[in-house]
Amino acid sequence: MKKKWLLLLSILLLLIIILCVVFAFVIKDDKEKTVIKKESRENIDEKKLQIIDLTSNSRPYAVMINNINTVWGYQAGLQDAYIVYEIMVEGGYTRLMALFKDKELSRIGTVRSSRHYFLDYAKENDAVYVHFGWSPQAQTDMTKLDVDNINFMTYQGYTRDYSLGLATEHTVFTTTQDISNGIDKYNYKKTSEGTLLNYSIDEIDLQNNVDNIVANQITINYSNNHTTTFTYDNINKVYKRSQNNQAHIDYVTKNQYTAKNIIVYQVNCYTIDNKGRINIDNIGSQEGYYITDGYAVPIIATKDSRTSKTIYKTKDGKEIKVNDGNTFIEIAPLGKELTIN
């Protein structure tokens, strides 16, 4: 009888040991699975946005870029901007404002003077505004709107490239390091929170929207002097940018500029002085389109004040998300041709 009890006790102890070993392996396996899941999640997160680092709080720069016909083919740096605004100026030409963040660029330009309504868009992005001179209206509004700005008329943060054979006013280029040095000089804040646009890591497919339209080519007429066109490249899923039927080319890379996202809407534009300078009615709501990956959907662009962010919503009231990539925001004159087909 004693031997039987000893045998049973031994078996029981053996079972307990086996259960403990199994339990230890289960716990270890669960921990390993948790680690794998965590690593997998981190790998997904590492696949995060390429166009902008959402964990970075560095402040963006907004640089005024010359876009008169004379300088086409000599512009540089636009492809590295995460947002580019295009708005009409006097003479029926357009000017561009390119936003850069967490980039190191050795050539940006050509840099030109400020127009007052561009300040609204520098403010909505909390960007340091970089320009070479200003219109009288922009000079007044710079103070009125409290715009942190770097003016190359008073700060030597640029070089001139006379080798291009262009008139002097078209030869100014800068670098991100020059701009950073200017921010240090004027003791501007270097951090900023949030972004203007809501980005999606997962590809947005607008063809699932009930009110979508095919958007293989977008033609935006600014004036008799200037038309901007975007043509869809369905292989690379970007839009190739042209101006007056000429490919818009970067001077350094020799590549045609492209856009992943296009936001386009029209505003009332009118002349305000004898130099032909204009103003735009950009406060309030305007109808437009968000365009990506070969489709467009109608949107409403709403800006409550000159310093507030423009909010872009679909017709059902939902704020839009944009694809991971650069965005051209085209603010064109009301009444001019805008075709999407």
Residue 33 has pLDDT above 60, yes or no: no
Mean pLDDT (whole number) for 250-268: 98
Residue 35 has pLDDT above 80, yes or no: no
Give the percent of the chain with pLDDT over 90. Answer: 85
- Give the Å distances, CA to CA, from 105 to 142, 196, 322, 334: 26, 22, 25, 35
- Give the Å distances, CA to CA, from 314 to 152, 214, 261, 298: 40, 16, 15, 6
Tens of pLDDT, residues 288-307: 999 999 999 999 999 999 99
Query: 252, 275, 247, 249: which is closest to 91 by C-alpha?
Result: 275
pLDDT at 298: 98
CATH 3.30.2320.80 given to domain 199-340: no
Question: Is the Cα torsion angle 64, 108, 102, 44 positive or negative in sign?
Answer: positive
Residue 55 has pLDDT above 80, yes or no: yes
User: Domains of the chain: which residue ranges?
Assistant: 61-186, 199-340
Tens of pLDDT, residues 173-229: 999 999 999 999 999 999 999 999 999 999 999 998 889 999 999 999 999 999 999
pLDDT at 8: 55
Do 61-186 and 199-340 have matching folds?
yes
Residue with tokens 């050539």: 107
Q: Where are the alpha helices (DSSP H) in 74-197?
A: 118-124, 136-144, 176-186
Query: Across the chain, what does the average pLDDT equal?
Result: 91
- Which residue pairs from 149-155 have beta carbons closer than 8 angstroms and sit at least 24 positions apart in sequence? 149/114, 150/179, 150/182, 150/183, 150/186, 152/111, 155/182, 155/185
Reported confidence tier of residue 40, pLDDT bands at 50, 70, 90: very low
Residue 311: its H or E element: strand 311-314
Residues 61-186, CATH architecture: 3-Layer(bba) Sandwich (3.50)
